Amino acid sequence: MDGTRRTDGSPTGEEPTHQEPTISSVSDLVALLSPSHVDSRTWFRGQIDKSWLRIPSARRKSGWVDHEDDMLKQFRQQVAGRAPVNPVNDWEWICLAQHHRLPTRLLDWTSNPLIGLYFAVESDGGEEGDADGRLFCLDPYELNRKNFGSRNLLLLGMDQDLDDYLLSSNSKQTKGPVAVIAQQSFARIVAQSGVFTLSHHRDPEPLEKSLGVSLSSWIIPVTAKERIRNELDALNINRASVYLDLDSFAMLIREEYDD
């Protein structure tokens, strides 16, 4: 769920050794969200293929790893004057780039479980629709306690403690991933209730290596995806409401009239 449709994952990870609950309907998710199971401050991430690792997009190809800074500079040069907002610092540019599919070290999460579920069942006819999905649950406060020494969430562009995560940092220390929030400065991050984990530029490991008990997950069988998509659509959670771009509205209308 990178604010994209097909760049959320990276092949392929080890399966958890524990038995994961299964979600076959929206009501199944609601039942699992009871206070006895999930804290109200939990973050969620849906992936349409359960085998994908939690790797930020900038770490998924060697060319992206080596040219992360170049890609961002080119994005800034070409988008300035065309962007729906005017980013005022590096982090705001990175956040905007993330939501428009440029590889970054941010990994998308959401504070809305139904949005997370949508990303786990989303389909545009690709082969990924043949795989079971997975919905991840993250305790962001526990992650930051473990890797940052504080249970506070960090605000991109405001907390100077995040400066060591910039490529321009002179820090030689490798830091673990942290849970971060961003200013709700453009429509898509608002629509997706978007929040993030941020990996350090010296840390190539998948996110699960650092998460431990702060991460859990549920399986969405491929046979249940269409039903869940229809249930979410009835709740006005669909391609158009999640992405808010004209292509998505047109696609939704086209699908409505498909035979």
User: Could you read off the pLDDT of 166-190 as tens digits, one per residue?
Assistant: 877 777 777 889 999 999 888 889 9
123 neighbors 129 (Cβ within 8 angstroms): yes
pLDDT band at 145 (very low <50, low <70, confident <90, very high): very high
Percentage of the chain exceeding pLDDT 70: 87
Note the pLDDT of residue 22. Answer: 97
Does residue 4 register a pLDDT over 60? Answer: no
Neighbour-count burial of 77, counting CB atoms closer than 10 A to its CB (0-12 exposed, 13-18 middle, 19+ buried): exposed
pLDDT digits (tens, 9 = 90+) for 60-98: 877 787 788 899 999 999 988 888 788 888 999 999 999
Beta bridge mates, 46 = 135
pTM of this structure? 0.86
How far is residue 217's CA from residue 10's CA, in Å, rounded to a whole number?
A: 17
Does residue 8 register a pLDDT over 50? Answer: no
Note the pLDDT of residue 63. Answer: 74
Domain ranges of the chain: 26-256
pLDDT digits (tens, 9 = 90+) for 10-42: 444 545 556 889 999 999 999 999 876 677 899
pLDDT digits (tens, 9 = 90+) for 233-259: 999 999 999 998 888 889 888 888 876
For β-strands 133-138 and 215-220, DSSP reports them as antiparallel
Comparing CA positions, the residue from 16, 14, 38, 187 lying closest to residue 116 is: 38
133 neighbors 50 (Cβ within 8 angstroms): yes
Comparing CA positions, the residue from 91, 177, 93, 103 lying closest to residue 140 is: 177
Integer-rounded Cα Rg, in Å, for the chain is 18
pLDDT digits (tens, 9 = 90+) for 150-160: 899 999 988 98
